[in-house]
Structure formats: structure tokens, C-alpha cells
């Protein structure tokens, strides 16, 4: 534990998003619109991780994620962990959970889907198939693999 | 259920499918009725499809209903930029049900959510066309006397062909055996094969047409659709890959019927038309009775 504390500075109150795959770090950054967030933020990337090799981590002080934000992160980094910190203590560790359905978050990749042409909110159903997780568009019924998901 | 729209064949249970086919047989025996007397049906064809539109409009006319609508988006206010939502809300003030064809996939599902009156999907891009599937089922039932335990060979464009995909899903209720005959470029997509495996539906795949349907009850042939190809060189390579000729039917089963959603190009030689096993023109006529049955179901008439 000691060495981890040295890698990234401690947080008093706020949220730590840990175990983000390194190549997804900046997508998570964008999902949370951290470029326009004035809170204190620490970002680390390519840190050594026993679990996933290289990982990214984001610490945001005084901010706690909305459910929708957590769903978005779950879609692109389902194995990331969210720690909620109060007074330097981790008071809650949350695993991300993929929602059963996703509305207005993911863009349909079918160029002739109605949602890409008319003001229709996108809507996907999660399909947990034997070998891969896929999202099925409620409208055009095409499937997207989880790793190919594009956030709107 | 929110409303009685028919968007996708999977909206109907096995029992609902069978009851539609039952009611279609009734309409075949007696197609001219006044069941829809006083009803107004809108046919909104944002993409032209003469065959499907005429079939639906004939069905309405034979049931004594009236028709409003358009056959080409160029004559509707969608060219002025009106959203589908607005068109549907406006038309649903006038009509008791809406038959809709749209080039965008998912358009019908969306319309069904917005519309206070039932929507019948008459095709949304390459996605769904449930009345076609129901008329295919009706043709199979009528010619074979059963839907159970049949051997069905699907030939041609099995990759992009929505009719074969919907037929596969619908037939899955009835213990079929499939053989998929397609060139490598146009093979049945993985998700449908894994659907078969999960539902214990046996299938084989081959790229060779000749002699591979002698044990079949149904030979379902599809056109290779030019409009689905991004690469026209690839289209040229596969467009005439199979042509069914009359002499290829010599050793087939006596109950075999050849189905094709039409229009056909070169995949069935004209010399097959006179063979009693050729069923594609009757199949189109069956569409009328099936659409009468669908209209009555969605309108609770």
C-alpha cells in the first residue's frame, strides 16, 4: 500500500477511479468533461498494475459521480474501480456495473439507423452472450461489441 | 403491450404467428369482406416499393377500408425537412392505422413509439419486413401442410438478405433443418448460426448449389442485391453465382416448392416458371391474404 500512495498524491474528499486500462484513460477523462472541471484533479497513466499490467488512475477532489457518468465509464472500462474518499479514508469501493439498458449515451454505428438522422434518443439493450457482451440498438436492431462502443 | 403495432417478426409469439396464418387461410377462402368498413388506413412510403404498397392497398380495398398516403417521399413534407415524428403525429390524427416503409433502419420502431395508432412495418431499410416473413410462412404451410420439421435450403445472399434472416428466426419455432448455400462473400452471419446452435437447430453450409437440395422441402432463393454492395467489383463477382435451371429439379422431392421474395433477376431461369415446383408467383398472391390478416389483427377488427 505504501508504494501506491507514493505514486499518486492522496485525496481528502472526492472520487478515485482506479484500474482504468491505459488506453482508455483519456476517454474516461472526456466522459467526465474534466477539461472544464475546476476541481483539483490528479491524473496518472501507465502506472504499474499487478492486475492489468499498465493502468490509469484519476483522482477528483470534491466530486462524486452521477449514476449516468458511472454507466458511461462502465461501458468503456468495465473493470475500473471507483473509490469514494472522505477525510482521506475510502468509505466505499464500487465496482462498475453494466446497465441492462443504455439510453442517450452510446451512438449507433449503423450509418442508416434512424437515430443518426432524426432527433431520436439512442437506446441499447445489453446482451450478455456466451463469449462477448454486445449492445443491441432498440431501433435498427444491429449489435455493437462492447469494445467498439462510441460514446456520444 | 402499448399498442398493437407490427414492427418485427419477433414481436409475435408462435401462437400469434399461427393465428395470423389461420386467419389468412380464411381470407383466401373469402377475400372480399367489409371488415374495415369506415376505417382509414394510411400508406406512407418514404421509399418507393410498388409491389408491397399495391399488396397492402389491395388488402385494404378488399376489406372495404379507405386509403390515404403517398408512394414517394418526394411528394411528402419530409422533403421540407419535417421529422418522422411530426409526420406520424399528423397522419395519426386522420388514420386508424399506418402502413409504413422507410429507408432508415429503426424508423418503424420509432414511429410505433410515437404513434397513438398501430404501425405496420412494410420495410425499414435492410432491417425488418415482417409481412414478407408471414407470407413466406403462409406459403410454406399451405404447400407442405405443416411448418414442423421441414428441411429448408436458403440460397443466394444470406449475408445481407433480411428475408432469410427473418424467416430463420420465425421458423425456429417449428424444428426445421437448414442448409445455407452461399458464396463465401455472402455467407450466413455468425449471429444467426449461433442462434441456431443455441436453439438446437441443425444446419449445414456449402457454396455449391447443384444437387444440394435434393432432400429439401423448401428451396428459398434470394437475389443478390446490388444496392447492398460497397464494392461493385465484388458484386460483379458474385451477382450471377447461382442460376437455378429446370433440369436441376429432376431428382428433387415431389413436395419441393421454390420460393423467392421477388423481384428475381438471373437466379432462377425462366424455364423453371412452368414447373409445378415453382411457387414464387403464388407466394406473392398469398401476401394479399396475409396482409388482410395483419390489418385485421392490428385493428382488432
- The yes-or-no verdict on residue B61 having pLDDT over 70 is yes
Count of CB atoms within 10 A of residue B227's CB?
7
pLDDT value at position A130? 64
The answer to whether the peptide bond before residue B94 is cis (omega within 30 degrees of 0) is no
B115-128 tens-digit pLDDT: 999 999 999 988 99
| Contacts with B191 from chain A: Cβ below 8 Å | 143
Most A CBs within 10 A among B46, B83, B104, hence the mutation to make, goes to B104
Nearest CA to CA, how far is B195 from chain A (Å)? 10
> What is the model's pLDDT at position A2?
46
Read out DSSP for A35-86?
A: GG--S-EEEEEEEEETTTEEEEEEEEET----HHHHHHHHHH-TT-EEEEEE
Judgement on whether residues A77 and A114 belong to the same structural domain of the protein:
no
Q: Are residues A71 and A106 in the same domain?
A: no
CA-to-CA distance for B31 and B59, rounded, in angstroms? 8
Tell me, yes or no, whether A31 and A60 share the same domain: yes
Confidence category of residue B72, pLDDT binned at 50, 70, 90: confident
Catalytic residue among B14, B34, B51, B226: B51
pLDDT digits (tens, 9 = 90+) for A117-150: 999 999 999 987 666 789 999 999 999 998 888 8
User: What CATH fold (topology level) applies to the domain B131-284?
Assistant: Rossmann fold (3.40.50)
> How confident is the model over A78-131, as pLDDT tens digits?
889 999 999 999 999 988 888 899 999 999 999 999 999 999 999 999 987 666
Q: What is the pLDDT of residue A118?
A: 95
Whether the CB of A15 is below 8 Å from some CB of chain B: the reply is: no
Q: Is there a catalytic annotation at residue B80?
A: yes
Respond yes or no: is residue B223 known to be catalytic: no
Judge whether B52 counts as a catalytic residue.
yes
- Mean pLDDT, residues B254-273: 95
Judge if A63 and A117 occupy the same domain: no
**CB pair distance less than 8 Å for A119 and B83:** yes
On average, the pLDDT of chain B sits at 93
| Distance, CA of B209 to chain centre | 23
Q: What is the dihedral of CA B14, B16, B22, B24, to 10 degrees?
A: -120
Alpha-carbon span A144 to B229, nearest angstrom: 21
Q: Supply the CATH number for residue A46's domain.
A: 3.30.70.140
Residue A123, domain CATH: 2.30.30.20
Chain B residues with CB under 8 Å of A124 CB are: none
Tell me whether residue B51 is one of the annotated catalytic residues.
yes
Catalytic residue among B62, B102, B129, B260: B129
Question: Which residue do the cell numbers 463469449 mark?
Answer: A131
What is the model's pLDDT at position A9? Answer: 67
Q: How far is B89 from chain A (nearest CA, A)?
A: 15
Candidate CATH numbers 3.30.420.40, 3.40.50.1820, 3.40.50.1370, 3.40.1190.20; the one for domain B31-128 = 3.40.50.1370
pLDDT at residue A6 is higher than 50: no
Domain boundary among A95, A112, A136: A95
Distance from CA of B105 to the nearest CA of A (A): 5
Task: Residue A102: count other Cβ atoms within 10 Å of its Cβ.
Answer: 22
Test mutation, A140, A144, A145, chain B, max B CBs within 10 A = A140
Tell me the pTM.
0.87
Domain count, chain A: 2
Same domain, A105 and A30: no
Asked if the model's pLDDT at residue A1 lies above 50, the reply is no
Amino acid at each position: 500500500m505504501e508504494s501506491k500512495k507514493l505514486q499518486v498524491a492522496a485525496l481528502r474528499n472526492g472520487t478515485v477511479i482506479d484500474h482504468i486500462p491505459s488506453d482508455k484513460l483519456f476517454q474516461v477523462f472526456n466522459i467526465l468533461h474534466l477539461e472544464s472541471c475546476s476541481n483539483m484533479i490528479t491524473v496518472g497513466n501507465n502506472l504499474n498494475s499487478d492486475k492489468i499490467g499498465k493502468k490509469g488512475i484519476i483522482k477528483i477532489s470534491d466530486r462524486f459521480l452521477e449514476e449516468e457518468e458511472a454507466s458511461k465509464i462502465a461501458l468503456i472500462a468495465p473493470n475500473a474501480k471507483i473509490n469514494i474518499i472522505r477525510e482521506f479514508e475510502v468509505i466505499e469501493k464500487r465496482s462498475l456495473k453494466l446497465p441492462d439498458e443504455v439510453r442517450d449515451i452510446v451512438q449507433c454505428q449503423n450509418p442508416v439507423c434512424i437515430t443518426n438522422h432524426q432527433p431520436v434518443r439512442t437506446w441499447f439493450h445489453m446482451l450478455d452472450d456466451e463469449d462477448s457482451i454486445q449492445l443491441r440498438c432498440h431501433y435498427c436492431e444491429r449489435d455493437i461489441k462492447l469494445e467498439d462502443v462510441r460514446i456520444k | 403491450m402499448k399498442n398493437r403495432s407490427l414492427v418485427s417478426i419477433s414481436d409475435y409469439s408462435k401462437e400469434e404467428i399461427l393465428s395470423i396464418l389461420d386467419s389468412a387461410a380464411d381470407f383466401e377462402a373469402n377475400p372480399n369482406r367489409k371488415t374495415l368498413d369506415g376505417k382509414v388506413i394510411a400508406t406512407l412510403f418514404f421509399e418507393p416499393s410498388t409491389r408491397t404498397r399495391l399488396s397492402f392497398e389491395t388488402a385494404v380495398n378488399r376489406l372495404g377500408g379507405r386509403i390515404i398516403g403517398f408512394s414517394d417521399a418526394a411528394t411528402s413534407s419530409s422533403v421540407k425537412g419535417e421529422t418522422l415524428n411530426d409526420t406520424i403525429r399528423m397522419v395519426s390524427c386522420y388514420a386508424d392505422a399506418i402502413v409504413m416503409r422507410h429507408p432508415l433502419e429503426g424508423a418503424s420502431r420509432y414511429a410505433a413509439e410515437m404513434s397513438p395508432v398501430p404501425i405496420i412495418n412494410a420495410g425499414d431499410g435492410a432491417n425488418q419486413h415482417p409481412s414478407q416473413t408471414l407470407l413466406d410462412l403462409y406459403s410454406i404451410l399451405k404447400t407442405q401442410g405443416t411448418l414442423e420439421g421441414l428441411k429448408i435450403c436458403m440460397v443466394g445472399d444470406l449475408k445481407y438478405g433480411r428475408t432469410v434472416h427473418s424467416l430463420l428466426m420465425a421458423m425456429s419455432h417449428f424444428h426445421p433443418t437448414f442448409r445455407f448455400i452461399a458464396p463465401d462473400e455472402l455467407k450466413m452471419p455468425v449471429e444467426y448460426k449461433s442462434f441456431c446452435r443455441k436453439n438446437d437447430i441443425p444446419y449445414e453450409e456449402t457454396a455449391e448449389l447443384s444437387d444440394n437440395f435434393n432432400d429439401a422441402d423448401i428451396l428459398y432463393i434470394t437475389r443478390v442485391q446490388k444496392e447492398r454492395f460497397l464494392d461493385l467489383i465484388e458484386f460483379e463477382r458474385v451477382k450471377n453465382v447461382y442460376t437455378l435451371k429446370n433440369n436441376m429439379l429432376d431428382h428433387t422431392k415431389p413436395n419441393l416448392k421454390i420460393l423467392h421474395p421477388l423481384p428475381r433477376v438471373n437466379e432462377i431461369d425462366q424455364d423453371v416458371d412452368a414447373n409445378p415446383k415453382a411457387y414464387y408467383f403464388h407466394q406473392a398472391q398469398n401476401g394479399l391474404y396475409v396482409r388482410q390478416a395483419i390489418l385485421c389483427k392490428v385493428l382488432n377488427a
